[in-house]
Copies of this chain bind each other. A is one copy, B any other.
């Protein structure tokens, strides 16, 4: 997306792309410009701190940060910027994302990280949550969020019909 980005999406490794692209998809669905970067809390600390410190003045309004295992990236970024930081724990170790969840959410008083669910649902929700932030002073966007909710509700009804058909097909 070529506009000046409003949201920055960061991830600790390109292995996290398949998960974090869900945040990009959500943002694109609402027409919100974004950028996506790899930066590591541990392997590239200066790059990470530098990015975080410059984000606000570059016009970024929210940061979405995904990481796995001892997922320090969201916290490290939150330490360097007053922008809202949204964390996405990624299931990339033997412990199924429990390590990433606890490392992301259990931040000490003073430095919040807004933590989403582990994995794809969380990445998608991070995008939607960023839209909710931006909709605070944007009625058009708020209206699109309402449409989005109405659309989700409508699809539930359609899925309910699908289930009836499967039940019939199963002779139940």
Partner of A133, one of B43, B84, B105, B109: B84
CB distance from A135 to the nearest CB of B (A): 6
Would you call B105 and A101 a contact (CB within 8 A)?
A: yes
Known: A42-B76, A42-B78, A137-B137. 20 other contacts (CB 8 A): A1-B172, A17-B163, A21-B170, A38-B163, A40-B156, A43-B110, A44-B153, A45-B153, A47-B156, A69-B107, A70-B104, A82-B149, A83-B136, A84-B132, A93-B117, A107-B116, A107-B117, A114-B116, A114-B129, A133-B136
Count of chain copies: 8
A36-B164, A159-B13, A163-B14 known; A107 vs B121 contact (CB < 8 Å): yes
Residues of A within 8 A of B (CB): 1, 11-14, 17, 21-22, 24-25, 28, 36-47, 49, 56, 61-62, 68-70, 72, 75-76, 78-80, 82-84, 86, 91, 93-99, 101-121, 124-126, 128-129, 132-137, 142, 145-146, 148-149, 152-153, 155-157, 159-160, 162-164, 166-167, 170, 172
Residues of B within 8 A of A132 (CB): 82-84, 112
CB distance from A105 to the nearest CB of B (A): 6
CB distance from A141 to the nearest CB of B (A): 9
In the bound assembly, the distance between CA atoms of A103 and B114 in angstroms comes to 15
A-B contact pairs, 30 of them (CB 8 A): A17-B166, A21-B170, A22-B109, A25-B172, A37-B163, A40-B152, A40-B156, A43-B111, A44-B153, A45-B76, A45-B80, A46-B153, A61-B136, A69-B106, A70-B106, A70-B107, A72-B72, A82-B142, A86-B114, A95-B98, A96-B96, A101-B101, A101-B105, A105-B117, A107-B117, A109-B124, A112-B128, A114-B129, A133-B133, A136-B137
